[in-house]
Structure 1
């Protein structure tokens, strides 16, 4: 089987769940017997590809993709255009058996012809919360075209499948659920950083649907009453002006901090946190849930979207803000069996492996190709 992977996610995502997934697909599929994988990649600054030693076609372009200078955004747009043209030229030759788009921009439809393609749908957040995300109209327009014409769809959780059917009912019959894989933390990590003695951890981007404001309100009393307790927001960009104003208005300027992280620092943050709280309104899968559990960190979640599927019995679930506050307080006061919570979490992470994800995905790709001939 000749597999062609569209690299569009790497044009703009340095890190994140989607590019991590595509990096794993490319890396693992490339090592399978009987599968020839191509991914036209002129340049990238993606952390997961770099970790795997996957280079692009030009070291100069790679360098230009990483650095920021006057005109760098214009250059990145030109590189994206060049990437698109390169893939279209490859598609035009019709030498592959299957196309795997890495995201929803359907530019490839110009040349895909009769070649089947399998699209992975990572979440339905733009459909569910259109006012909470930038560029929603464009994303929904592109996503609909890509979904409607896809030969088959992969949903990364049962929750995502149900949301997909709600908004695209005509997709019924061409959806398979294949969970993401996960690579467990390899052990205790030591880095030279100073951490607070006690802190609650929030990880990742902070768009409105990620619901950080809810966590701030739920933890406000604890942060004010418990000397030394902090809330660390790890990853993404530093707080913007609006976020700083919200934190100050709640009287939490000295208690809430942002921290830039790499994988090693993040692992140490998980290992030493009182708990990790994921207040997001919707996640297609939610890698941080398994990251936290693999590091022995109690994981506090709502029962929204895919969380019960991924966290299982290991999650500490809340139904309201008062319940979230109570769970955090009980963990701070050691009123729960922390050792049991951690052990259940470690067992839960074993349910997800990249090998299982790749095996199921490869079987689906082969089935789609076989049906197309």
Structure 2
């Protein structure tokens, strides 16, 4: 008797082009998929689309192949017709992890939509003239993702609620795969020499702000809250790590107007060990975002034993899981009051550090990858 032919492995493509020269929250998500999925699913073949600016391989796992793609993940070719840039013949499932569903895909797809700010508050993302073009780009790509993806993954219950609010017809297809935090983020001893090299003056305590320079991060509100809390505390500085954004000069002017000249240190993107040192040595993280899909700095700070003061809206309370102090992000006085509590009450600070470490331990990237794999298998099973 002739036996049935062996089943072919599922062929899954993942767009990994966000793993490029600059760090990003989406890049952290993609890195977790690349790190864990090949081991979790040895019965699958993964095709990883690689950014042309990245020279080293994404993975050396035997069930992985990589295709270098010259066009960017958030470029016009991707939006209009991705097969113009890469041959996807034979792919059974495509995972788009960066908010938009590419055009021209013939196979079923899963799109990770981190947030829908480009649909609800585009002015929070990019208020400059170029932002109008970005708004149309993301509106088209996200709307298509919500309408056509076999499943829509998102990284928090808060984001799921917002997606369903604007697209109730997609409710049954929206699933939370909660983000994690890399284990490289862990407490380290304060090293004054390292901090001085980074840009923290010797002998200064500091509060920390981390995130790209987009309006939704509310860095102006963070600075006003810091001034309200510590304007008359000369040994307390504010360190702001801002990956990108053209508002640095405006923040420096605001700092001067608030009487903080010389006490606010604006840093560009820095290496991860230096960021871990900053988190570990800070009196508190100030994170008064207006909206987040997840809010990586909250998780990273907790993992490094840094007390967190963050917003009482969007995904921040969910990510903090009761291990942070919350405040209205539009009320600098309320944020300032919470900051003073952390700095002045050492037992509270110690309790926040303990609870933060416990909460961060629950935010596991391997579990995130496994949750995405379950979605892959669900869609593939429905196609057979």
TM-score bin (small chain): 0.7 to 0.9
Aligned to 1:221: 228
- Give the drift of 1:87: 7.0
Classify the secondary structure of the residue corresponding to 2:300: helix
Q: Is the partner of 2:108 in helix, strand or coil?
A: coil
Other-structure match for 1:34: 43
In structure 2, the residue matched to 1:148 is 147
CA distance 1:137–1:358, shift in 2 (3 Å): same
Instruction: Confirm whether residue 259 of structure 1 aligns to residue 267 of structure 2.
Output: yes
Helix, strand or coil: the match of 2:251? Answer: helix
**What does the per-residue CA deviation read over 1:213-242, in whole Å, with 9 as the maximum and x for residues that have no partner?**
112222213343011211110141485333
Given that 2:207 and 2:282 are in contact with CA atoms closer than 8 Å, whether structure 1 keeps it comes out as yes
CA distance in 2 between partners of 1:318 and 1:246 (Å): 22
TM-score by length of 1: 0.84
DSSP 3-state at the match of 2:209? strand
- Aligned equivalents of 2:163 and 2:76: distance in 1? 29
SS, match of residue 313 in structure 1: coil
The worse-fitting range, judged by mean Cα deviation, of 250-259 and 14-23 is 250-259
Aligned residue pairs, count: 350
SS of 1:252's partner is coil
Partner of 1:303: 312
Q: What 5-or-longer segments of structure 2 have no aligned partner?
A: 1-9, 126-130
Runs of 5+ consecutive residues of structure 1 not aligned to the other structure: 62-74
Q: Deviations over 1:137-167 (max 9, x none)?
A: 2211221122211111112111001100111
Change (3 A) 1:278 1:160: same
Q: Are residues 1:168 and 2:167 paired? A: yes
What is the alpha-carbon distance in structure 1 between the residues aligned to residue 73 and residue 298 of structure 2?
36
Is the aligned partner of 1:348 residue 2:359?
A: yes
Deviation per CA, 1:277-309, whole angstroms, max 9, x where unpaired? Answer: 111001111111111011111000111111111
Q: Summarize the alignment of residues 128-147 of structure 1 with structure 2, pairs less than 5 Å apart.
A: 128-133=120-125, 134=131, 135-147=134-146
Determine the structure 2 residue equivalent to 1:193.
195
Aligned to 2:240: 233
**Pair 256,55 (structure 1): closer, same or farther in 2 beyond 3 Å:** farther
Displacement of 1:104: 3.9
- Root mean square deviation of aligned Cα: 3.1
Offset from partner CA, 1:234-264 (integer Å, 9 cap, x none):
1414853333333323232222111232111
Counterparts of residues 1-373 of structure 1 (less than 5 Å) = 1-10=10-19, 14-31=22-39, 32-41=41-50, 43-45=52-54, 89-91=86-88, 93=89, 95-107=90-102, 109-110=103-104, 112-113=105-106, 115-133=107-125, 134=131, 135-184=134-183, 185-188=185-188, 190=191, 192-194=194-196, 195-196=200-201, 197-237=204-244, 240-260=248-268, 261-319=270-328, 320-334=331-345, 336-373=347-384
Tell me the alpha carbon deviations over residues 40-95 of structure 1, each in whole angstroms, 9 at most, x when there is no partner: 32513499959x9x99778xx9xxxxxxxxxxxxx97799789876675422x2x1
Q: Hey, what's the Cα distance between the residues in 1 that align with 2:316 and 2:247? A: 26
Contact 1:159–1:306 (Cα < 8 Å) also in 2: yes
> Helix, strand or coil for the counterpart of 1:41?
strand
Q: State the SS of the aligned residue for 2:237.
A: strand
The equivalent of 1:67 in structure 2 is none
User: Are the aligned partners of 1:10 and 1:46 in contact in 2 as well (CA < 8 Å)?
Assistant: no
Partners of 2:74 and 2:118 in 1: CA distance: 26
Secondary structure of 1:131's aligned partner:
helix
Structure-2 change in CA distance of 1:46 and 1:344 (3 Å):
farther
Alpha-carbon distance between aligned partners in 2 of 1:339 and 1:77, rounded to the nearest angstrom: 44
